[in-house]
Amino acid sequence: MSAQPFTFYEFFAGGGMARAGLGDGWACAFANDFDAVKAAAYRDNYPDAADHFRQGDVWQLTAADLPGGVDLAWASSPCQDFSLAGARAGLSGGRSSAFFGFWRLIEGLAAQGRAPRLVVIENVSGLLTSHGGRDFAALGEALAAQGYSFGALEIDAAVFTPQSRPRVFVVATREPPPACLLGESPFHTRAVRAAAAALPELLAERWRWWRLAAPPARNTDLAALLEPDGAVEWHAPARTQRLLELMAPLHRTRLDAVRARGGRDVGAVFRRTRIEHGRPVQRAEIRFDGLAGCLRTPRGGSSRQAIAVVDGGEVRTRLLSPRECARLMGLPDSYRLPAAATSALHVTGDGVAVPVVRWLAAGLLEPLSKPAAFLAAE
């Protein structure tokens, strides 16, 4: 790594999880978020926030608000309109159109000769397929118009931490990358390959197949991140029974098989609405693969993820605590969460997994930021 820190802007920064993943080798020159709860969490965890953090609408910023020039601009723009669970409004959607508020700033920087060397756009996997791939192509057009070549990696946080959380990372660079950073990657998923194949010819010329290796095998599971049984609040038996009654036969059979073998097992439980016989039915679904389902921002009880602990045939259930959710995002216990549980879950459920960012930074962003130093070190 260079003796001088890499520098970055972070847009839609939330509680600063991308910053946490980039690590101490990166200096934040500017950060922004609209949400008051997330902004408070950012300020609480980064004492230098007064120097560079701006709360407010990205559309109210100008290039003049952004100091100097940086190696990287990171944008985790609102994902709801790309999500498979959302309305799939795409880049024209009211919330995801915040991307263009961010991109207007990059265009302004470019006009001043201050465009970042790198841009990373993180979003849900639906970005690759929204509007039949037209939104992904529109993103590529915006990048190409400012002289960037780009590629995408689809990385599931489950590779690093026991939470199923696939996300797309579009990495764009204005300079020719070293050949050693191009090639095959396990993160070139079927969806990434299909999105690349669907690009128009002129954009296909700008496409880069980023080489990013797989990390070592994860050595923790959901159970390892939980608080001691006596330190948390458990559901009353009637509430547990209600969850069991919501399970479809497949999931109830799965639970009964775990109960029958004895011992202690931990399963993740999430309530979803399924269409059965032409009508919506709320179901509780359970998994015993050592993973939590994808954390979400809390919008009522059904969006809160629960666990079921099976111990000697007995089943107890409870909600995941905010601290447990923070651990599932790869945050250290030293990270200060909002005091209110709903606020804490709002911060953790709408962030980027910290170890994913660290792996991406070490394997790709840092070599791309200082390619000459990287090649010399090799």
Which of these, 208, 145, 136, 199, lies nearest to 172 by C-alpha position?
Answer: 208
Give tens-digit pLDDT for 302-346.
568 899 999 988 999 999 999 999 999 999 999 999 999 999 999
Read off the pLDDT band of 6 (50, 70, 90): very high
- Quote the CA–CA distance of 304 and 270 in Å, as a whole number: 7
- Quote the CA–CA distance of 179 and 95 in Å, as a whole number: 37
Question: Which pLDDT score is estimated for 100?
Answer: 84
Torsion angle of the four alpha carbons 246, 251, 257, 262, in this order, in degrees rounded to the nearest 10: -60
| pLDDT score of 268 more than 50 | yes
Read off the pLDDT band of 96 (50, 70, 90): very low
Question: Which pLDDT score is estimated for 273?
Answer: 85
**Cβ neighbours of residue 117 closer than 8 Å, sequence gap 6 or more:** 70, 71, 72, 173, 174, 175, 368, 369
Give tens-digit pLDDT for 10-40.
999 999 999 999 999 999 999 999 999 999 9
Averaged pLDDT score across all residues of the chain:
91
**Cβ neighbours of residue 65 closer than 8 Å, sequence gap 6 or more:** 30, 54
Average pLDDT score over residue span 182-203 = 97
Give tens-digit pLDDT for 107-130.
999 999 999 999 999 999 999 998
CATH class of 6-217+350-377: alpha beta
**Are 252 and 288 within 8 A, CB to CB?**
no
Domain spans of the chain, in order of start: 6-217+350-377, 228-320
Read off the pLDDT band of 272 (50, 70, 90): confident
Average pLDDT score over residue span 64-68 = 96
Which of these, 7, 11, 62, lies nearest to 38 by C-alpha position?
Answer: 11
- Quote the CA–CA distance of 153 and 144 in Å, as a whole number: 18
Question: Which pLDDT score is estimated for 184?
Answer: 97
Read off the pLDDT band of 101 (50, 70, 90): confident
**Cβ neighbours of residue 181 closer than 8 Å, sequence gap 6 or more:** 210, 211, 364, 367, 368
